[in-house]
Amino acid sequence: MKLKTLNIILAGALLIFCSCNDDYLDIENPNNLSAASFWSSETDIQQGLVATYAALQRDGILGGSAATQLPVRSDIGRPNNWNANAIGLNKLTFNENSDIVKKRWRDCYIGIYRANQVLSNINNIELNEATKTQMEAEARFLRGFFYYSLYRGYNNGSVIIHTTVPESRDDFYKSPSPAEDVYNLILSDLEFAYEHLPKQYPNEDLGRATWGAATAMLGKLHINELDYISAKKYFGEILDSNLYSLVPNIGDNFNEEGEMNSESIFEVAFSTLAKPGTLGGAADGPLGSEATSRAITLATPQAGGYRTIMPSYYMTMLFKNDIMDPTNPINTTRTGSAKYSMRASSSIAIADDNNTTLYQRASNLGGQYNNGEASYLKKFQNWLLDRESDQSISGINERVIRLADVMLLYAECLIETGEPYSEALSLVNEIRQRAGVILLNETDYDANSIMEHIMWVERPLELMFEGHDIRWEDLTRWGKVKEQYERLASKKYVLISKVLYEYDPVIHATINGNNILNEFTEAAAIYQPGVHNYFPIPSTEQNSNSGSF
């Protein structure tokens, strides 16, 4: 049975304080629920934690906009021709007023506020010490996660720190702290979670943060600081724990049936059953929603969607060239003569993919493939459903961290710390074996070339459109954004009978120049690390906060 977290409204977040001179207004309403009366039992703390987990579902973090828009800033996604928000990210014309810039900031601080409510009240309630420690560890993991998103996402890591619930105007109006202080807060929170979270939960508690989630986040925190020795330690502990294993079918990482599987280290739960809500995405309150708007945002018109974001041409060609291994048993069960790998067919829709469907149609009929559209996303999509099914909302969980991600990050650490590259290549091949594609031959690689393969082939193929902005983290960690933009801007493509090909001036000599496609040309021309690697502090914060920026 699929287990989901449920949104609740914290009483303390809804209190409105006012003062009046009229005595009759001072009479206390016995029906009012105050913050003090709410935080009075273990159940209240548990509900506070549930609300903090629910903040992960919000539009700016892993529900809706963030999950769909953020990939177009990197090399894996491209916008349709009319969505201004996605186009602005893709062309690097975002600013402090951009939709996703404001939403990500807002929703991270909502999560931080909720975590701080739990942490501020947990010591005032009589609790079993083990239970109290676990609850504190969960709240600190979540606060660390939200601050990690802000640290990696905004103002070179210099953001506003709140570790208590604001009680006065001055508590709210704070200036950004130095990036080093933000980093140390994240490190402290994640280390506490690492030391005190359980390694596993009973089935009824699946979805809560575990030791593995904290360990993986510590590894990510260190690797993005280029501290490969520390990162290797944490990623190695996950691999050595034997708590996780690759699922045989890669598609089970993206569908509803495979949620909370053996490969999942941390995922955010959604549901169309608990509270279906509307196409606006997950929302708090009794009339809110546990569903995500990802489905309608990315679905094709044939499924009633907007196809706001699609895989980039670069990604489409990577999947087309993800060559199957005919000797791999995973390919012997496929019908007919499959053109594309199981990894390709589970991740994106390509018009001439003859071994899969798209919304219960042949792949070439499940989308229009016009306006330069070469492929559509299938990860976390309702692509197995037909047009008559409700495509407006989705209950498919967002996988935030899974084992394949950790394996590739550990492989990177091995290379960067001078370990034999053969171990890194072995990890890559384990992932490729599961994908059903040709394995890498050790004699064809050295440490540099296997790292190049991880950067430009394996990580994008395996992890595109997953996690929380992880491809942008990859590119900025490697310092390769400009290089990749320029590489991809120089490429040209053509669509012939709905199928994408790299442009060849001889083969495609008769094709009109207006029909030759390219991408990332604007980003390649204007990208500057100091301007574009981080979002600016949003205008909503600058306008409402009297602190100095």
pLDDT of residue 26: 46
pLDDT of residue 343: 97
> Are the C-beta atoms of 246 and 404 separated by less than 8 Å?
yes
Classified as helix, coil or strand, 32 is coil
Sign of the CA dihedral running 34, 35, 37, 42: positive
CA pair distance 55, 53, nearest whole angstrom: 5
> Are the C-beta atoms of 312 and 460 separated by less than 8 Å?
no
Domain-located, residue 472: no
CA pair distance 87, 69, nearest whole angstrom: 9
Q: How far is CA 522 from the centre of its chain?
A: 25
Provide the domain count of the chain. 1
Question: Which two tokens mark 546?
Answer: 């009297």
What's the residue count for the chain? 549
CA pair distance 318, 457, nearest whole angstrom: 7
Helix extents (H) in 127-178: 129-153, 169-172
CA atoms within 13 A on the CB side of 404: 30
CATH code assigned at 148 = 1.25.40.390
Tens-level pLDDT at each residue, the chain (549 residues):
344 444 333 334 433 333 333 443 344 554 555 666 789 899 999 999 999 999 999 999 998 888 889 999 999 999 999 999 999 999 999 999 999 999 999 999 999 999 999 999 999 998 999 999 999 999 999 999 999 999 999 999 999 999 999 988 888 889 999 999 999 999 999 999 999 999 999 999 999 999 999 999 999 999 999 999 999 999 999 999 999 999 999 999 999 999 999 999 999 999 888 776 666 677 777 767 788 888 889 999 998 889 999 999 999 999 999 999 989 999 887 756 789 999 999 999 999 999 899 999 999 999 999 999 999 999 999 998 876 666 677 899 999 999 999 999 999 999 999 999 999 999 999 999 999 999 999 999 999 999 999 999 999 999 999 999 999 999 999 999 999 999 999 999 999 999 999 999 999 999 988 899 999 999 999 999 999 999 999 999 999 987 777
pLDDT of residue 280: 65
Question: Which two tokens mark 79?
Answer: 């916008």
pLDDT of residue 387: 64
Domain-located, residue 193: yes
pTM across the whole model: 0.93
CA pair distance 139, 133, nearest whole angstrom: 10
**C-alpha dihedral, 524 to 222 to 471 to 249, nearest 10°:** 160
What Rg value do the Cα atoms of the chain yield, rounded?
A: 24
pLDDT of residue 81: 92
CA pair distance 423, 498, nearest whole angstrom: 40
Burial level of 371, CB count in 10 A (0-12/13-18/19+)?
exposed
Cβ-based neighbour number of residue 37 at 10 Å: 11
- In sequence order, what are the beta bridge partners of 282? none
For 77, 243, 438, 471, the CA distances from 464, given in Å and listed in that order, are: 9, 24, 20, 7
Q: Which helix (H) or strand (E) holds 11?
A: helix 11-14
Cβ-based neighbour number of residue 133 at 10 Å: 16
pLDDT of residue 33: 54
Domain-located, residue 449: no
Domain-located, residue 83: yes
CA atoms within 13 A on the CB side of 261: 22
Residue tagged 């029909």 (tokens): 515
**Bridge pairing between strands 309-311 and 77-79:** antiparallel
Domain-located, residue 350: no
CA pair distance 226, 100, nearest whole angstrom: 27
Sign of the CA dihedral running 381, 387, 392, 393: negative
Domain-located, residue 236: yes
Question: Which two tokens mark 343?
Answer: 């990894």
> Are the C-beta atoms of 55 and 32 separated by less than 8 Å?
no
Domain-located, residue 245: yes
Domain-located, residue 387: no
Domain span at residue 184 reads 11-17+34-251+273-289
Residue (of 378, 377, 407, 148) closest to 263 by Cα position: 407
Q: What is the 3-state secondary structure (H, E, C) of 328-389?
A: CHHHHCCCCCCCCCHHHHHHEEECCCCCCEECCEECCCCCCCCCCCCEEECCCCCCCCCCCC
